[in-house]
């Protein structure tokens, strides 16, 4: 049995760093610079806050533009991540009018939002934290608030109040759970006024607030009290087993293949049509740390999934329960039956929960999608879902912390989550939903594209356009240095989350299969397949080395076949259609002398693609071809084909590189240069299914009459 994993938090305050922070922001008051500094210290520790959770504030006297002194509350912007917060991440609010809100009995969402907005002192500042009124009502200069795991392990217990009081001591007050907003702000300040000697307040099932006149003191109180909670837990559960291993289950034989298959099936089972008619797909994120795996294979797994969120704030990321998958069968039909059955049951439960809540609360709300976000899968670990890759990762992080905290809470005593009715209030709190922001309407949002030959100029152009259209893109190549170069170009344009690079060999079916498994484990599956890897060779038939011919057949023809074939089982498991867009060549219709191996092998790839169009239509998978011509690379990434054939062409026509480009431009009907991005635009056109088209060939060649498709 594994040892108890401690959740001790470290006091990271450093005098020199704090002074440097003040120097770093010369245009903001030192008190605010220190607020930024200690906020970042809190944000760095995932045992205190996760991804935009928690909030902090400072109260400063500031002169207005007409020279009047005002008391301003600087409170963290809603959804801003404490780990990376800057002074601009805080919203400045005129404190006096906000304090008066304490006299109100009730304040609706709309009214609170309006008050926070009209009392901002800068038009451009972010939306203030939903817990801004707490910070406004408490009188202290600095207020820090976290949802620390150790605090929640103590509060989410049958005797939570006593446990907290015993662990944290007499200078901490404990407040039963209250809804965020005006009720919480009033509850906290009233608690403080009962005993002004207290240094912190713990809100059951939610988190902890510390406060002081110095940034350092408020931060250090946070660290101190969280560690007191931690050492109390550690003492009580030391030596106790956290899980009871299940005896009725054997973990999957091939974990990678099972994880890939599971991700594909779950992705398909959770894809759905949104109210606006668009299909919404998820990305998956798998976590399989040893203790998470252990939890997935334990008797406790079912309860972990069905005992709610640690703190209501998490509900917008994870929903209130997870799905437990007891085993992953080797057979796809069995796996699909299990996953689809579980997802349907989850949806029904969610619908029932929503209907019950709106009826008992006598309110009107629009139901959010009823799909689960977290699965705990026996032998595979945690699988999280998100509409964006970032969302999937945030959900996975929260899911991991939740599992660990619940295991320790279970060993400590009787874990008692917050009731559904309270969770619903937060889940359907308008201000909370705003944190998620509007979802991007990009045409390929939620889709996963794989582009072979990703290390070349056309691969870069295709990946670039797919990324711009909202897809997450996996580029693959056999040439690792070239692949890394293109990867870093794309990552700098679109972000590390959006692009992956995987090395595999298209001529080897097993290698392609492994590559597809790997990308499914990382992302969830495949929606758009772009066989683009290709090689060229210049020789007349008479001089053509048969072995060289085999090589071109292997990459250009068999490579296309391998990539199409390997994608079919994935399309079947997902059951959500898909697009294969094959990068062919104008030579298929208009071959050139001394270019036989290339033209013939590409024509073979073209033909197999047409056959695939016939066979895959019943899966909703479309197969279309693009015939580019004369696509040169740029200074960053050259075209491998032109690196090879360019010198010979230049020699035979007596041209320099620029002259050669010009020669091809002039040769076309439209007299324009064909760019890699043009090929990418054509891929996006097919992949976004703007027309009901399959088996078609689209030239991207500026007009070459001899190559008109026929």
Q: Which of 71, 77, 81 is nearest to 57 (CA)?
A: 77
The least CB distance from residue 201 to Zn ion, in Å, is 12
Continuous segment of H or E residues that includes residue 600 = helix 596-616
CB nearer Zn ion, residue 93 or residue 339 = 93
Bridge partner list, 381: 377
* Segment near Zn ion (CB under 5 A); pick from 59-67, 199-207, 525-533, 652-660: 199-207
The least CB distance from residue 163 to Zn ion, in Å, is 20
CB nearer Zn ion, residue 207 or residue 308 = 207
Continuous segment of H or E residues that includes residue 51 = none
The tokens describing 423, both together, are 């969770």
- Cβ neighbours of residue 443 under 8 Å, at least 6 residues apart? 469, 470, 684, 688
Q: Is 83 exposed, middle or buried (0-12, 13-18, 19+ CB in 10 A)?
A: middle
CB nearer Zn ion, residue 33 or residue 185 = 185
Q: Which of 414, 415, 409, 427 is nearest to 149 (CA)?
A: 409
d(CA 155, CA 226): 12
The least CB distance from residue 223 to Zn ion, in Å, is 18
The least CB distance from residue 42 to Zn ion, in Å, is 13
Q: Distances in Å between the alpha carbon of 49 and those of 145, 175, 208?
A: 9, 20, 11
The least CB distance from residue 180 to Zn ion, in Å, is 7
- Cβ neighbours of residue 18 under 8 Å, at least 6 residues apart? 34, 37, 38, 215, 216
Judged by CB under 5 A, the chain residues 319 through 378 that form the site for Zn ion are: none
By rule CB under 5 A, what count of residues binds Zn ion? 1
The least CB distance from residue 357 to Zn ion, in Å, is 21
- Cβ neighbours of residue 498 under 8 Å, at least 6 residues apart? 389, 467, 472, 473, 490, 491
Encoded one letter per residue, x for contact with Zn ion by CB under 5 A and - for no contact, window 202-241 reads -----x----------------------------------
The least CB distance from residue 82 to Zn ion, in Å, is 12
d(CA 196, CA 198): 6
> Are the CB atoms for 535 and 552 separated by under 8 Å?
yes
Bridge partner list, 93: 73, 120
CB nearer Zn ion, residue 78 or residue 639 = 78
The least CB distance from residue 9 to Zn ion, in Å, is 17
CB nearer Zn ion, residue 207 or residue 461 = 207
CB nearer Zn ion, residue 207 or residue 446 = 207
Chain position whose Cβ is nearest to Zn ion: 207
CB nearer Zn ion, residue 131 or residue 500 = 131
The least CB distance from residue 635 to Zn ion, in Å, is 51
Backbone angles phi and psi of 43, in degrees to 5: -60, -25
The least CB distance from residue 465 to Zn ion, in Å, is 41
d(CA 491, CA 468): 12
CB nearer Zn ion, residue 53 or residue 268 = 53
- Cβ neighbours of residue 265 under 8 Å, at least 6 residues apart? 332, 335, 336, 339, 340, 573, 574
CB nearer Zn ion, residue 133 or residue 660 = 133
The least CB distance from residue 131 to Zn ion, in Å, is 6
The b/e string for 661-689 (b: 16+ C-beta within 10 A; e otherwise) is beebeeebeeeeebbbbbbbbbbbbbbbb
CB nearer Zn ion, residue 261 or residue 422 = 422
Please work out, in degrees rounded to the nearest 5, the angle formed at the alpha carbon of residue 409 by the alpha carbons of 404 and 410: 100
* Segment near Zn ion (CB under 5 A); pick from 11-19, 201-209, 212-220, 271-279: 201-209
CB nearer Zn ion, residue 77 or residue 207 = 207
Q: What is the separation of C-alpha 3 from the centre of its chain, rounded to a whole number of angstroms?
A: 31
Give the binding site for Zn ion (CB under 5 A): 207
């Amino acid at each position: 049995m594994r040892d108890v994993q401690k959740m001790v938090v470290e006091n990271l305050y450093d005098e020199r760093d704090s002074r440097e922070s003040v120097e770093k922001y010369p245009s903001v008051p030192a008190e605010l610079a220190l607020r930024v500094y200690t906020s970042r210290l809190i944000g760095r520790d995932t045992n205190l806050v996760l991804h935009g959770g928690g909030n902090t504030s400072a109260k400063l006297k500031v002169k207005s533009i007409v020279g009047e002194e005002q008391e301003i509350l600087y409170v963290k912007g809603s959804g801003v991540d404490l780990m990376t917060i800057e002074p601009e991440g805080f919203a400045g609010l005129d404190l006096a009018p906000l304090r008066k809100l304490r006299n109100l009995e009730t304040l609706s969402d709309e009214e609170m939002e309006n008050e926070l907005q009209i009392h901002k002192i800068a038009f451009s500042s972010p939306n203030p934290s939903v817990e801004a009124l707490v910070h406004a009502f408490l009188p202290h200069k600095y207020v820090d608030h976290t949802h620390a795991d150790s605090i929640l392990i103590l509060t989410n217990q049958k005797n939570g109040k006593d446990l907290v009081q015993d662990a944290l001591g007499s200078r901490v007050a404990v407040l039963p759970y209250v809804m965020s907003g005006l009720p919480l702000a009033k509850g906290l300040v009233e608690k403080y006024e009962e005993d002004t000697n207290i240094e912190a307040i713990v809100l059951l099932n939610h988190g902890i607030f510390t406060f002081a006149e110095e940034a350092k003191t408020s931060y250090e109180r946070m660290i101190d009290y969280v560690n007191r909670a931690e050492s109390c837990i550690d003492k009580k559960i030391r030596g106790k087993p956290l899980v009871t291993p299940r005896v009725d289950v054997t973990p999957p034989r091939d974990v990678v293949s099972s994880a890939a298959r599971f991700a594909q099936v779950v992705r398909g089972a959770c894809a759905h049509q949104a109210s606006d008619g668009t299909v919404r797909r998820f990305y998956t994120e798998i976590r399989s740390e040893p203790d998470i795996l252990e939890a997935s294979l334990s008797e406790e797994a079912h309860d972990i999934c069905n005992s709610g969120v640690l703190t209501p704030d998490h509900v917008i990321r994870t929903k209130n329960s997870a799905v437990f998958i007891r085993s992953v069968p080797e057979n796809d039909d069995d796996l699909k039956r299990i996953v689809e059955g579980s997802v349907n049951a989850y949806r029904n439960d969610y619908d029932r929960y929503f209907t019950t809540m709106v009826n008992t609360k006598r309110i009107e709300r629009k139901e959010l999608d009823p799909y689960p976000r977290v699965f705990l899968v026996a032998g595979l670990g945690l699988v999280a879902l998100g509409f964006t890759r970032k969302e999937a990762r945030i959900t996975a992080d929260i899911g991991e912390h939740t599992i660990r905290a619940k295991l320790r809470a279970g060993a400590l005593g009787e874990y008692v989550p917050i009731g559904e009715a309270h969770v619903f209030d937060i889940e359907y709190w308008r201000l909370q939903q705003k944190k998620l922001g509007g979802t991007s309407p990009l045409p390929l949002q939620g889709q996963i594209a794989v582009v072979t030959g990703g290390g070349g100029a056309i691969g870069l152009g295709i990946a670039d356009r797919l990324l711009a259209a909202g897809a997450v893109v996996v580029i693959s190549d056999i040439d690792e240095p070239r692949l890394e170069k293109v990867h870093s170009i794309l990552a700098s344009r679109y972000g590390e989350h959006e692009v992956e690079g995987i090395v595999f060999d298209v001529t080897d079916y097993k290698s392609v299969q492994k590559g597809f498994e790997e990308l499914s484990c990382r992302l969830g599956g495949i929606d758009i397949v772009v066989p683009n890897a290709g090689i060229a060779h210049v020789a007349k038939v008479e001089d053509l080395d048969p072995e060289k011919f085999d090589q071109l057949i292997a990459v250009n023809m068999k490579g296309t076949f391998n990539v199409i074939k390997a994608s079919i089982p994935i399309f079947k498991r997902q059951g959500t259609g898909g697009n294969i867009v094959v990068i062919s060549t104008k030579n298929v219709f208009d071959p050139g002398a001394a270019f036989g191996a290339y033209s013939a092998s590409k024509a073979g790839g073209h033909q197999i693609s047409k056959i695939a169009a016939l066979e895959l239509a019943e899966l909703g998978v479309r197969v279309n071809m693009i015939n580019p011509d004369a696509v040169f690379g740029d200074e960053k990434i050259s075209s491998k084909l032109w690196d090879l054939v360019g010198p010979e062409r230049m020699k035979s026509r007596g041209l320099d590189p620029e002259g050669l480009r010009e020669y091809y431009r002039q040769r076309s009907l439209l007299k324009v240069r064909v760019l890699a991005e043009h090929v990418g635009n054509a891929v996006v056109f097919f992949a976004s299914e703007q027309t009901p088209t399959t088996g078609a060939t689209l030239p991207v060649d500026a007009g070459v009459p001899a190559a008109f498709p026929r």
